[in-house]
Amino acid sequence: MYSSSCRLAIYLRMIYDCGVDRVMINLCQGFIQHGLGVDLVLNTVEGNSNLLSQFPPEVRVVDLKAHHQSKSLSDVMRYLKEECPQALLAAGHYSTEMAVIAKQLTRVPTRVVVSEHSAISKDAQSASWKESKRWIPLAARLTYPWADGVITVSQGVAQDLAKVTGLSVKDIQVIYNPVLTSNLLDKVKQPLDHPWFVPGEPPVILGVGRLEPQKDFANLIQAFARVRQIRPVRLMILGQGGEESKLKHLIHQLQLDDDVKMPGFVQNPYAYMTRSAVFALSSAWEGFGNVLVEAMAAGVPVVSTNCPSGPAEVLDNGRYGILVPVGDPEALAAAILDALAGDRRPVDASWLDQFTVEAVTQKYLNILDIPK
């Protein structure tokens, strides 16, 4: 156990209902189990999602009330000078950059570590020149060399970050996400009241994620249309986001309204996973792919695009799931049909151990250099 007087901080812009938030919830749980005090530092808590309530009650939420990113630097500096935590872990842009600059300007002894959860070159390429994320690679290149530690969630993200920032891959610590919690199996076993998941109904293909271009759910919907031409099947996509109306229009255009459901955000997607016939990830790019680990743990066959970066690493290069090319609905449909026909690729329990909260938390504590 670590000293209860030792406090560390996690700094995020806000909570968005995304994979990074779930990673931080699990890390907080792990840190607290080690006896540490934890501050969750947010630029603002206004408009935050339901996920904020899922952080452990022992976590102290610090609202900087910085409604504009331009104001956050002075607020982070003030927090560091007043609280001086042992270490600060920053995730998301431009929280990572602000954390590094604040440390340099205040000269506090706090160890500042930045964590990168996506291939930032891909994020920038997908943005217009007017969007702020277009400039993330430049901002990271200017600030990350000053960080006390740099973490990425996959080898692919590490290679991308090294190329963008000029950092050596040797100076980047790859730590897979802490996806598997002690209560995940309890959530898997929870009842699910939905008519599609009762005996005798057609098999359900499941997709989970934010409804954004990165996830390329249009690819999954087009693949599903091909699968449905061959056998009775249904598609459910859990999540919310800016692409919802566009995807619903595609569903209607392909005359799939009766066989595709998009119920939005759900508190317990694992109950859906374990009852689905196939889990499909159709992303154009990823940082890691938390949902792939969750699906493997839930025991559902997995089909995924072999996108940069994460899926090939998580699925051991196809040993634990079928990998297909990005943006190829015919290949995705063929893989789904293979999985429905019995291509299950069972997962060794030892493979999943590396994604547990216990294993990952210790790796974070090591790079945060928290003394016992």
Task: With cut-offs at 50, 70 and 90, classify the pLDDT of residue 132.
Answer: low
How many whole angstroms separate alpha carbon 370 and alpha carbon 372? 7
Question: Could you give the CA distance from residue 332 to residue 188 in angstroms, rounded to a whole number?
Answer: 26
> pLDDT at position 122, please?
81
Report pLDDT for 371.
78
Residue 161 pLDDT greater than 60, yes or no: yes
Torsion of CA 215, 217, 223, 227, to 10 degrees: 120
pLDDT at 121: 86
Confidence of residue 231 (pLDDT cuts 50, 70, 90): very high
pLDDT value at residue 127? 60
**pLDDT (mean) for 112-120:** 94
Which are the contacts of 272, defined by CB distance < 8 A and separation ≥ 6? 192, 194, 197, 206, 208, 236, 238, 266
pLDDT at residue 221 tops 60: yes
Average pLDDT score, the chain: 92
Q: Which of 127, 133, 13 is nearest to 71 (CA)?
A: 13
Tens-place pLDDT, residues 35-62: 999 999 999 887 656 778 889 999 999 9
Return the H-helix or E-strand segment holding 235: strand 234-238
Q: How far is the C-alpha of 183 from the C-alpha of 186, rounded, in Å? A: 5
Instruction: Evaluate if residue 129 carries a pLDDT over 60.
Output: no
- pLDDT, residue 347, reads 94
Say which DSSP state 356 is in.
B
Residue 135: its pLDDT value, please? 85
Contacts of 249 (CB under 8 A, 6+ apart): none
Mean pLDDT confidence for 122-149: 81
Confirm if 219 and 283 have CB atoms less than 8 A apart: no
User: Is the pLDDT assigned to residue 363 strictly greater than 70?
Assistant: yes
pLDDT at 1 over 70: no
Task: Return the exposure string of 319-345: e unless at least 16 CB atoms fall within 10 Å of the residue's CB, then b.
Answer: ebbbbbebebbebbbbbbbebbeeeeb
Sign, CA dihedral 292-294-297-299, equals negative
Give the residue, 266 or 276, on which the prediction is more confident.
276
Apex CA 104: angle with CA 35 and CA 143, to 5°? Answer: 95
Write phi, then psi, for 27 (nearest 5 degrees).
-65, -40
| pLDDT tops 90 at residue 4 | no
Q: Model confidence at 71, in pLDDT bands (50, 70, 90)?
A: confident
List the one residue out of 98, 114, 124 whose CA is nearest residue 152: 114
Report the C-alpha gap between 107 and 104 in whole angstroms.
Answer: 5
- The pLDDT value given to residue 54: 87
Residue 169 pLDDT greater than 90, yes or no: yes
* CB distance 165 to 144 below 8 Å: yes
CA 101 → CA 77, 95, 106, 141, 328, distances in Å? 9, 10, 9, 13, 42
pLDDT at residue 372 tops 80 = no
pTM of the prediction? 0.91
Percent of the chain with pLDDT over 90: 80
